[in-house]
């Protein structure tokens, strides 16, 4: 009976994997088709073309757009890691007045959709003179969810490990 359950579970997982990978496979095949056949939902490459890839590599601004995206993503990840690790540790292990209330306020912001504060974010960005800069893209990236996840991970670490590190001479940021 256990083997039948494993086969059913494996079959369901394979179906889910297939459904998840299908858009990527479709996108790959569409990139090799001509523009006229782009909306043909088939995986055949009867009219194979590399025109789209030639267009990408001939235009220098595409490379700039790509590296702009990489720069914003890397800076956003670094900023998110720094802020969420510091805030998550503070909420998990440091005792200060208002800790539970402040953490509650931070977690409540997870329930506010980004679209609801989009105009306010634009206004703040404009008032600080950050329109058309990378900062306008990078600064909003750290979210309350990352703080929450790091806090939960730090709470899973036993207090004894942190205490033994303090005995060995470690400080809060080491």
The phi and psi torsions of 33 (rounded to 5 degrees) equal -95, 160
Q: What is the pLDDT of residue 16?
A: 98
d(CA 154, CA 28): 41
Q: Which long-range contacts (CB under 8 A, 24 or more apart) does 159-168 make?
A: 159/93, 162/93
Categorise residue 129: left if φ over 0, alpha if ψ from -120 to 50, beta otherwise: left
pLDDT per residue over 21-63, tens digit each? 999 988 888 888 877 776 777 777 677 788 888 888 888 888 8
- What φ, ψ does residue 48 adopt, rounded to 5°? -70, 130
Q: What is the DSSP letter of 33?
A: B
Point out the residues of the chain with pLDDT beneath 50: none
pLDDT confidence of residue 26: 86
Which sequence spans correspond to the domains of the chain?
1-58, 60-174
Is the distance from CB of 147 to CB of 82 less than 8 angstroms? no
Question: So what's the pLDDT on residue 1?
Answer: 60
Q: Report the C-alpha gap between 144 and 124 in whole angstroms.
A: 19
pLDDT score of 45: 67
Cβ-contact 142, 80 below 8 angstroms? yes
Tokens 């306020």, located at residue: 105
* Alpha carbon 121 to chain centroid, angstroms: 19
For domain 60-174, the CATH class is mainly alpha
- Dihedral sign for Cα 115, 117, 123, 124, please: negative
């Amino acid at each position: 009976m256990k083997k039948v359950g494993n086969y059913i579970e494996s079959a369901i997982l394979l179906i889910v994997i297939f459904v998840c990978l299908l858009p990527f496979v479709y996108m790959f095949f569409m990139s090799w088709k001509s523009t006229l056949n782009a909306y043909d939902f088939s995986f055949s490459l009867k009219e194979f073309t590399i025109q789209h890839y030639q267009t990408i590599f001939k235009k220098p601004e595409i490379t700039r757009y790509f590296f702009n995206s990489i720069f914003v993503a890397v800076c956003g990840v670094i900023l998110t890691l720094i802020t969420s690790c510091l805030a998550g540790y503070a909420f998990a292990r440091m005792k200060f007045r208002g800790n539970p209330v402040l953490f509650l306020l931070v977690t409540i912001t997870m329930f506010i959709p980004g679209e609801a504060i989009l105009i306010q974010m634009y206004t703040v960005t404009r008032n600080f003179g950050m329109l058309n800069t990378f900062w306008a893209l990078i600064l909003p990236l750290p979210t309350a969810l990352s703080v929450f996840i790091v806090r939960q991970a730090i709470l899973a670490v036993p207090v004894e490990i942190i205490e033994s590190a303090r005995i060995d001479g470690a400080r809060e940021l080491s």
